[in-house]
């Protein structure tokens, strides 16, 4: 199967992203056969940055092709239309790679959009049935509505938005605390063969063991987390910290490694 590098939550062109050009990332995939960008590569929630962000993702595609590396974009909640791929399995369905937003009700509990995403998701599930693919598809549809402004008529006025900022911080921290168990519970219901789950989404890097499942979150390229990378081959899963030297990212120390056999 070769050697695969997994990164997540680059958020090209979003304020706060630490990646300003593709060349900062290019050293990371040298020597790999494939690269998976596990959601939120581009930033479609921002009308002012969406086109530049899409172009940056296209630049990654050009650079990886030039380097002989196969690239796969998995869609996230900020870039639900970047591809039609919502997940990838490895190791005979023991290792699941997906952005990680589907297990969270409303995708982003800290956002005013959460209620409307949850309602849309629930409505679609009632029509399609409640399985693994249906869960992912419903979340992608609701995320597309959110990213493209379908709920903008519900956006609170500026004073209300300011008031929501305080409880939003609490909701972020609560989500971080609950996330490993939330994912493990969802996996038991919808993808019970998975023993390793590689996600992003919450911007909170970590490795947790819950209910016999190892949940890996690669954090984000920006506040409040330091990014990590996952390296997968036919037998092994390894998590690396990423270091930044002279503005360029490279693989750093190993956080943890497992046999996937």
d(CA 123, CA 9): 28
Q: Token pair for residue 225?
A: 């987390």
H-helix or E-strand containing 33? Answer: none
Average pLDDT over the chain, rounded to an integer: 94
Q: Taking 90 as the threshold, does the pLDDT of residue 205 lie above it?
A: yes
pLDDT of 173 reads 95
Q: Is the peptide bond before 9 cis (omega within 30 degrees of 0)?
A: no
pLDDT (tens digit, 9 = 90+) per residue, 108-132? 999 999 999 999 999 999 999 999 9
Determine contact, residues 81/44, Cβ cutoff 8 Å: yes
* Region for 203 from its dihedrals, namely left if φ exceeds 0, alpha if ψ lies in -120 to 50, beta otherwise: left
Q: Taking 90 as the threshold, does the pLDDT of residue 196 lie above it?
A: yes
| Averaged pLDDT for residues 130-151 | 94
Q: Taking 90 as the threshold, does the pLDDT of residue 166 lie above it?
A: no
Residue 14 DSSP class: S
pTM here?
0.96
Determine contact, residues 195/95, Cβ cutoff 8 Å: yes
pLDDT (tens digit, 9 = 90+) per residue, 67-112? 999 999 999 999 999 999 999 999 999 999 999 999 999 999 999 9
Q: Taking 80 as the threshold, does the pLDDT of residue 1 lie above it?
A: no
pLDDT (tens digit, 9 = 90+) per residue, 16-53? 899 999 999 999 999 999 999 999 999 988 778 889 99
Q: Taking 90 as the threshold, does the pLDDT of residue 56 lie above it?
A: yes
pLDDT of 14 reads 86
pLDDT (tens digit, 9 = 90+) per residue, 229-246? 999 999 999 999 999 999
Set out the domains of the chain in order of their start, with CATH numbers.
4-259 (3.60.21.10)
CA 91 to chain CA centroid, nearest Å: 20
pLDDT of 50 reads 86
């Amino acid at each position: 199967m070769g050697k695969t590098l997994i990164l997540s939550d680059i958020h090209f062109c979003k304020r706060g992203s630490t990646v300003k050009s593709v060349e900062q990332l290019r050293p990371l995939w040298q020597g790999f056969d494939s690269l998976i960008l596990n959601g939120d590569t581009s930033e479609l929630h921002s009308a002012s940055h969406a086109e530049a962000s899409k172009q940056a993702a296209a630049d990654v595609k050009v650079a990886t092709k030039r380097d002989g590396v196969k690239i796969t974009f998995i869609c996230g909640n900020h870039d639900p239309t970047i591809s039609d791929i919502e997940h990838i399995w490895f190791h005979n369905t023991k290792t699941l790679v997906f952005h990680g937003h589907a297990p969270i009700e409303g995708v982003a509990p800290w956002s005013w959009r959460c209620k409307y995403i949850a309602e849309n998701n629930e409505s679609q599930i009632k029509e399609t049935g409640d399985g693994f693919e249906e869960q992912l598809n419903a979340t992608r549809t609701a995320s597309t509505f959110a990213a493209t402004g379908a709920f903008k008529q519900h956006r609170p006025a500026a004073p209300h938005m300011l008031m929501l900022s305080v409880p939003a911080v609490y909701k972020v921290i609560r989500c971080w605390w609950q996330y490993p168990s939330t994912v493990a519970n969802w996996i038991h219901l919808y993808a019970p063969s998975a023993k390793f789950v590689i996600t992003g989404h919450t911007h909170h890097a970590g490795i947790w063991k819950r209910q016999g499942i190892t949940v890996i979150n690669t954090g984000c390229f920006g506040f409040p987390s330091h990014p990590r990378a996952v390296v997968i081959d036919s037998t092994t899963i390894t998590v690396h910290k990423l270091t930044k030297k002279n503005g360029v990212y490279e693989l750093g120390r190993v956080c943890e490694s497992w046999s996937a056999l």
